[in-house]
Structure 1
Amino acid sequence: MKKQERIFVIGHKNPDTDSICSAIAYADIKNRTTQSKRYIPKRAGQINEETRYVLNRFGVQPPAYLGNIGTQVKDMDIRLSPQADKNMSLKNTWDLMQENGIVSLPIRDKEGCLEGLVTIGDIAKTYMDTTDSYLLSNARTQYQRIAETVGGEVVEGNGHGYFVKGRVLVGTANPKMMESYIEENDMIIMGDREEDHLQAISQNVSCIIVGLNIVVSEKVVKLAHEKNIVIIRSPYDTFNIARLINQSIPVSYVMKRDNMVTFNTEDFTDDIQDVMVKNRHRAFPVINPHGKCIGTISRRNFLDMHKKKVVLVDHNEVDQAVDNIEKAEILEIIDHHKLGTLQTMTPVAFRNEPVGCTGTILYEIYGEQRLEIPEKIAGLLCAAIISDTLMFRSPTCTQTDKIAASALALIAGIKIEDFAREMFSAGSNLKDKSPEEIFYQDYKKFIGEGNVSFGVGQISSMDSEELKEIKEKLMPFMVSECGRHDITRVYFMLTNILEESTELLFYGEGSQQMAEIAFEKKPDGDAFCLPGVVSRKKQLIPAMMEAAQLMNSDYA
């Protein structure tokens, strides 16, 4: 069965309730209307207390975190490697590499973990080293491997034993001459003369190899048995046996074990390019999260990388999107904000409506697709609308939002007013949170005229005393935060839902002036009191953008 293509559905950084719930709902819609693809909801940041309450309330697991959507090693066409262990002979290793058309072969243990790496060059170098008579014993070569390499069989002795001491020699001289150069434990390649075989046995060699399928005498076999000498019979002549025998050594003897350059399937391709340039290998082993070696990649793989595919919900700004969004393939955008700065290489399906919440748009899509909305999803979308519209008090709220929320509340079996009170109470219960956690709970970056970067965070609560406590925590943190992430002006909205007003904190050079121009008033001490202002998107940001434009205009 063909593996389903994965497509991620994700909201903005510092996600709010709408961002998380819309990702979950749209993944549900797509999975119920598409068979060949699997849509997976993700989140680009930590879930805030309000959203956590909503997910727990309706028994829905939070989406997994995805902080970077750039291409990774696992998005490449990893070349799967055939199974090869360290005891394979060089000949078998060479044959395996030729059969699979590869120049580098990872050597793995029984568990699939990487033990070494051998290349065509490593094998060729060993073939060229024809003067080392001790090569086979130094490599601890198994007799059975030797027999296989010379196309023969072990006719006497323990084929599972190892040649660990002595040289490999050709015994073609007469017995007296052989006596002068053969030493104990040597391996001798011989012809058909029984007297030569007996001479070798008398000198306690470890192995006799006879060619041309010669059958040695029973006397020779008996004496070899008594002295634990191995006899191998090969169909090849002496020349070819001598030529092939070095190919019997185990690949473990020539493979690289130390300082191997490997990559993990989770590594980002941006991080490995420089490593590949510095290490001019033909191929690099790839390790999966379980520590298993699954194959290799090469520089050529950068030409056919598969970008991650993504659907964006509740945003269309580059600065608010998951990191490396430019490296991904955006398929769709569903949003209710102003047009942002995202650019795509190809046309995409872009649905943008002037409503108070992305959840409202998803409610419409369920209807258009004639899909029944699950009770849990209805609860999530209703919560998203209540959150984004501040229970219909925000100027961004439309009649469409109210109708959608009412219908969803019926499906979810909740009373909007009671649920909203519980949800906002949970979201503003920040006594155990650090100033940084509070600040980034719902925080977005914006760029105004003149490339002015400013950030705006927001907390909404029904409790004015709690907002005062939050203010005391945030003021010192805003000082340290200004200047980070290229942001020169920092604002924070402390929004009172019941009073429908906002106390706007500010810090940074030009921050007070921009707010004064935006709202045509002076601050009350360290904050601006803004009656009737509850929406960051529709009330605060447009005013700030216009102020930034005026500040950079010659006609201001």
Structure 2
Amino acid sequence: MNSEIFVIGHTNPDTDSICSAIAYAELKKKITGGNYKAKRAGQINSETKFVLERFGVPAPSYQPDVRTQVKDVEIRKSPGVDGNISLKTAWSTMRQNSDVTLPIVDDQNHLVGLITVGDIAKSYMDVYDNKVLFTAKTPIKNIIDTLDGELVVGDENDYLSEGKVLVSAANPDLMEDYIEEGDLVILGNRYESQLSSIEMKAGCIIVCDGAAVSKSITIMAQNNQCIIIKSPYDTFTVSRLINQSMPISFFMSTKDLITFTSEDYIEDIQVVMAKKRHRHFPIIDKNGCYFGMISRRNLLGARKKKVILMDHNEKSQAVDGIEEAEILEIIDHHRLGSLETISPVFFRNQPLGCTSTIVYLMYKENNVEVEPQIAGLLCSAILSDTLVYRSPTCTEVDRTAAEELAKIANINVEKYAKEMFDAGSNLSSKSPEEIFYQDFKKFTAGDITFGVGQINSMSKEELEKIKDKLIPYMEKAHGDHGVAMLFFMLTNILESSTELLCRGHGARELAINAYRLDRNTENIYLPGVVSRKKQVIPALMFTLQHDS
């Protein structure tokens, strides 16, 4: 079973979202010893990439969806079998393991077919062809095993290729009219019958009742390349059992096999299962190899993925499938959003400038030492979110935390922050789409959903170039998201100002009303506005609620 607990930020992760997830996962491991793993729900931006590389920390793996998957279910690890095993062996395996379906695999463990109890029943009840053992290319080894026999003459690795099965119930003279070259003859201890069968070039004779085979018959069989198998069973029993020696590959289903992968989502495979009457379905792993079997009953024990949400508590910003996951904790510094949970959760929300500040406080509260790498990540996140203390969201707690962490990480705050922002604002080679989604979030006010993106730069000229790229792209983004309005903040860090781009019916009017600007304002320029969380979202929300 999957015991991982994902620590994950929002779908358009910024530096705080990624760094706080990594740091908090490490803290939880040290406190509880649990299997906590930092994940990301979106692509990492240039600034965050710089930070991770600077401190030698690998980026969290991508987790686009947290719906329950096949790998979250207790899969029946029924081993795959070789297609050459006999029907009798397959039946015994099924009874022993209480299986109704056996997966057949090749020597690379790739699934090649399936055989069910029903297939075995049909093979026994519906076959009246005395040539079927030859048609099925039945291995001699299977015949020996099925009849509890002993190989007297021949090679057990050989197989039946051409002929039919006969029972020597008549006298030798009469049998000579029936035996043809290559046939398999079931007979008793009569020397004359054994001799006649070999002379008629039978390919194999089965001597029943454990009767002895004379030396002369043995030599003659060797000279005529006739296989001799001795069985302790009587003629009737051998005749009844011999069809069970056929290889299951002859009866297995190979076309239109319904398989699932370990990465498939439960809600998707339930639809397929409901349309089919099969009791078990094979699971294929990511390498294309057979992994196990799953049934409808297994789905009843499916465990939801366990997640800890970092730096957000809005459903619109959360990873896909969050409504099906089990949320254990939420660590955030934003307003309370629309996310609902079934059970009570640990929810820590503080009015600070950065989620990483909260994580640092939790390290101190639990007396856990902050390692230099983690300190570097947390400090970077605080500097990024507070714009090096320039943002109105920045508190004295944030500043103190950043300075303490900088000492642990051995970095100069002003110098390092400039390098970090330069790396993050080097957007000239990026496409409008990459720029737009570098830091984009959705919000809901009543019945209205709107999106707000933001780019920070220390260069006025770069912001102008970005603006020229974004204006035409925002039309497409507005249609793609189906939101009422889109806004994009072009924030100048050095000047502590923002130009707000608007798209959608009523978006421009909303911004003008929110900031009490002149109706004839051409560009919406907002001096002193740098924080989306504290200066833009509240203003838009208040105006929307007031207008409604």
- TM-score with structure 2 setting the length: 0.98
Per the TM alignment, residue 32 of structure 1 is displaced from its structure 2 partner at its CA by: 1.4
CA contact (8 A) 1:506 1:527 kept: no
Runs of 4+ that moved beyond 4 A:
523-526
CA contact (8 A) 1:122 1:254 kept: yes
Letter in 1 for 2:202: V
Q: Does 1:210 align with 2:201?
A: no
2:360 alignment partner in structure 1: 363
Q: Does 1:378 align with 2:375?
A: yes
CA contact (8 A) 2:307 2:329 kept: yes
Query: 2-side partners of 1:459 and 1:141: how far apart?
Result: 71
Query: 2-side partners of 1:222 and 1:58: how far apart?
Result: 80
Q: Does 1:349 align with 2:346?
A: yes
CA contact (8 A) 1:68 1:322 kept: yes
Q: Does 1:539 align with 2:531?
A: no
1:482 alignment partner in structure 2: 478
Per the TM alignment, residue 420 of structure 1 is displaced from its structure 2 partner at its CA by: 1.4
Per the TM alignment, residue 33 of structure 1 is displaced from its structure 2 partner at its CA by: 1.7
Query: 2-side partners of 1:148 and 1:498: how far apart?
Result: 84
Residue among 77, 82, 93 paired with 2:79: 82
Over aligned residue pairs, what C-alpha RMSD do you find? 1.4
Per the TM alignment, residue 517 of structure 1 is displaced from its structure 2 partner at its CA by: 2.0
Per the TM alignment, residue 528 of structure 1 is displaced from its structure 2 partner at its CA by: 1.0
Per the TM alignment, residue 111 of structure 1 is displaced from its structure 2 partner at its CA by: 2.0
Query: 2-side partners of 1:268 and 1:5: how far apart?
Result: 17
Deviates more, 1:236-245 or 1:253-262: 253-262
Per the TM alignment, residue 5 of structure 1 is displaced from its structure 2 partner at its CA by: 2.4
Provide closer, same or farther for how the CA distance between residues 146 and 526 of structure 1 changes in structure 2, counting only shifts above 3 A: farther
Per the TM alignment, residue 44 of structure 1 is displaced from its structure 2 partner at its CA by: 0.6
Unaligned 5+ runs, structure 2: none
1:460 alignment partner in structure 2: 456
- Which runs of structure 2 are paired with 1:156-195 in the superposition (5 Å)? 156-195=153-192
Residue among 16, 25, 28 paired with 2:14: 16
Per the TM alignment, residue 143 of structure 1 is displaced from its structure 2 partner at its CA by: 1.4
Residue among 446, 470, 477 paired with 2:443: 446
Q: Deviations over 1:383-430 (max 9, x none)?
A: 111111111111111111111011111111112111111111111110
Deviates more, 1:251-260 or 1:133-142: 251-260
- Which runs of structure 2 are paired with 1:229-240 in the superposition (5 Å)? 229-240=226-237
Query: 1-side partners of 2:65 and 2:337: how far apart?
Result: 20
Q: 2:272 aligns to what SS in structure 1?
A: helix
Q: Deviations over 1:190-215 (max 9, x none)?
A: 12211111111121111111211111
Residue among 481, 501, 507 paired with 1:505: 501
Deviates more, 1:275-284 or 1:451-460: 275-284
Query: 2-side partners of 1:202 and 1:379: how far apart?
Result: 89
Per the TM alignment, residue 274 of structure 1 is displaced from its structure 2 partner at its CA by: 2.2
Residue among 418, 423, 436 paired with 1:421: 418
Query: 1-side partners of 2:61 and 2:141: how far apart?
Result: 53
CA contact (8 A) 2:80 2:290 kept: no
Per the TM alignment, residue 512 of structure 1 is displaced from its structure 2 partner at its CA by: 1.3
Residue among 419, 427, 443 paired with 1:430: 427
1:145 alignment partner in structure 2: 142
Per the TM alignment, residue 516 of structure 1 is displaced from its structure 2 partner at its CA by: 2.0
Query: 2-side partners of 1:220 and 1:420: how far apart?
Result: 95
1:296 alignment partner in structure 2: 293
Query: 2-side partners of 1:217 and 1:477: how far apart?
Result: 92
CA contact (8 A) 1:4 1:38 kept: no
Per the TM alignment, residue 117 of structure 1 is displaced from its structure 2 partner at its CA by: 1.1
Per the TM alignment, residue 435 of structure 1 is displaced from its structure 2 partner at its CA by: 0.6
Query: 1-side partners of 2:248 and 2:210: how far apart?
Result: 27
CA contact (8 A) 1:514 1:551 kept: no
CA contact (8 A) 2:201 2:224 kept: yes
Provide closer, same or farther for how the CA distance between residues 101 and 523 of structure 1 changes in structure 2, counting only shifts above 3 A: farther
CA contact (8 A) 2:496 2:530 kept: yes
Per the TM alignment, residue 217 of structure 1 is displaced from its structure 2 partner at its CA by: 2.1
Residue among 1, 24, 27 paired with 1:29: 27
Letter in 2 for 1:154: L
CA contact (8 A) 2:314 2:337 kept: yes
Per the TM alignment, residue 116 of structure 1 is displaced from its structure 2 partner at its CA by: 1.4
CA contact (8 A) 1:189 1:208 kept: yes
Q: Deviations over 1:86-108 (max 9, x none)?
A: 11111111111111111111111
1:515 alignment partner in structure 2: 511
Letter in 1 for 2:506: G
Provide closer, same or farther for how the CA distance between residues 297 and 116 of structure 1 changes in structure 2, counting only shifts above 3 A: same
Letter in 2 for 1:482: H
CA contact (8 A) 2:2 2:71 kept: no
Query: 2-side partners of 1:13 and 1:355: how far apart?
Result: 21
- TM-score with structure 1 setting the length: 0.96
Query: 2-side partners of 1:133 and 1:73: how far apart?
Result: 45
Provide closer, same or farther for how the CA distance between residues 147 and 270 of structure 1 changes in structure 2, counting only shifts above 3 A: same
Letter in 1 for 2:6: F
Letter in 2 for 1:243: R
Per the TM alignment, residue 531 of structure 1 is displaced from its structure 2 partner at its CA by: 1.3
Unaligned 5+ runs, structure 1: none
Letter in 2 for 1:87: N
Per the TM alignment, residue 4 of structure 1 is displaced from its structure 2 partner at its CA by: 8.2
Per the TM alignment, residue 526 of structure 1 is displaced from its structure 2 partner at its CA by: 4.9
Q: 1:88 aligns to what SS in structure 2?
A: coil
Residue among 391, 394, 397 paired with 1:397: 394
Q: 1:285 aligns to what SS in structure 2?
A: strand
Deviates more, 1:172-181 or 1:61-70: 172-181
CA contact (8 A) 1:171 1:190 kept: yes
CA contact (8 A) 1:136 1:246 kept: yes
Q: Deviations over 1:70-93 (max 9, x none)?
A: 111111111101241111111111
1:255 alignment partner in structure 2: 252
Query: 1-side partners of 2:318 and 2:324: how far apart?
Result: 12
Q: 1:79 aligns to what SS in structure 2?
A: coil
Residue among 267, 273, 276 paired with 2:273: 276
1:309 alignment partner in structure 2: 306
Per the TM alignment, residue 131 of structure 1 is displaced from its structure 2 partner at its CA by: 1.1
2:544 alignment partner in structure 1: 548
Q: Deviations over 1:483-536 (max 9, x none)?
A: 222212110011112221111110110111211221111366553111111111
Letter in 2 for 1:455: G
Per the TM alignment, residue 21 of structure 1 is displaced from its structure 2 partner at its CA by: 0.3
Q: Deviations over 1:347-383 (max 9, x none)?
A: 1111111111001001101101111111111111111
Q: Deviations over 1:142-195 (max 9, x none)?
A: 112101101111112222211111111111111122122222211111122111
CA contact (8 A) 1:44 1:66 kept: yes
Q: 1:387 aligns to what SS in structure 2?
A: helix
Query: 2-side partners of 1:45 and 1:524: how far apart?
Result: 38
Query: 2-side partners of 1:179 and 1:375: how far apart?
Result: 92
CA contact (8 A) 2:2 2:72 kept: no
CA contact (8 A) 2:80 2:102 kept: no
Deviates more, 1:524-533 or 1:348-357: 524-533
1:119 alignment partner in structure 2: 116
1:408 alignment partner in structure 2: 405
CA contact (8 A) 2:195 2:217 kept: yes
Q: 2:255 aligns to what SS in structure 1?
A: coil
